[in-house]
Amino acid sequence: MKFGIINISTLFIVLIILICSSILTYISILKGLFLHGNLIFIAKFFLALIILINFFTIAFIIFRFRLIIITNRDIFIFYPFRFLIIKTKMDKIKNLNWSSYTDSKAIYFRQLTFETESNKSINLCDKEFENLDYISQALGHNTFANKKVEQLNFERAKSNKATQFYNLICIIFLICSLVFVTIKMENWNNNTSIMLGLFSIFTFIMFYFSLKKYLIYKKTLRLRSV
């Protein structure tokens, strides 16, 4: 049994937006800040925008968040917040195709598209899943022997290597900051320990996957230049 691993960078960004916008939405609505008479118009406009972002983020998670489980015979795509399961036989998958796209931040991503036995089109992207290559191999598609995928891998490495290096530097700085905070922290309590522990675990997971991506990009470019 194989599983799709959620892209850790995408997950981090969505969680940060969700947590921050939810806190501000709570303060704005439940604490009555939005209706406060002394609040200037621009501040109310900003709070209204934050509330809209919060609702949009929640809707995005509900409709887009999915889990993938692959067995020897079937693939299951779960949408837990929509109570939806898409199942198809491995030998019924058809029209499997690779493509690419560049998002608004100029980051290059690969996309794997296929159709289920009920002719439903499924798109899987490495912006959503860390182990897209692993998923494609589980579907019976030899990623590394495919010339088109080799070209996509090269284009991705050439486009993303510098950005990934800067991301790695930022994460290293974050890890150093966590170490500094841990050393300097004097008033420890259970809530602080749990929050710092969870954030540290998440940060080290981000570091692992970011380093892995950077080394893959570096290896891809080196092999192409040989």
Summarize pLDDT for 213-226 with one digit per residue, the tens. 999 999 999 887 65
Out of 41, 64, 87, a domain closes at 64
Looking at the domain assignment, is residue 45 inside a domain? yes
Looking at the domain assignment, is residue 96 inside a domain? no
C-alpha distances out from residue 119 to 88, 113, 115, 184, 207, Å = 10, 12, 5, 58, 39
Out of 64, 94, 111, a domain closes at 64
Average pLDDT, the chain: 85
- pLDDT at res. 25: 82
CB-based contact 50:24 (threshold 8 Å): yes
Looking at the domain assignment, is residue 191 inside a domain? yes
Looking at the domain assignment, is residue 139 inside a domain? no
- pLDDT at res. 181: 83
Domain boundaries, position 213: 160-225
Out of 31, 64, 97, a domain closes at 64
Looking at the domain assignment, is residue 47 inside a domain? yes
User: Where is pLDDT greater, at 209 or 38?
Assistant: 209
pLDDT band at residue 32 under the 50/70/90 scheme:
low
Residue 37 has pLDDT above 60, yes or no: no
Looking at the domain assignment, is residue 24 inside a domain? yes
The CA angle 110-114-120, to the nearest 5 degrees, is 130
CB-based contact 49:21 (threshold 8 Å): no
Q: How many domains does the chain have?
A: 2
Looking at the domain assignment, is residue 178 inside a domain? yes
Looking at the domain assignment, is residue 22 inside a domain? yes
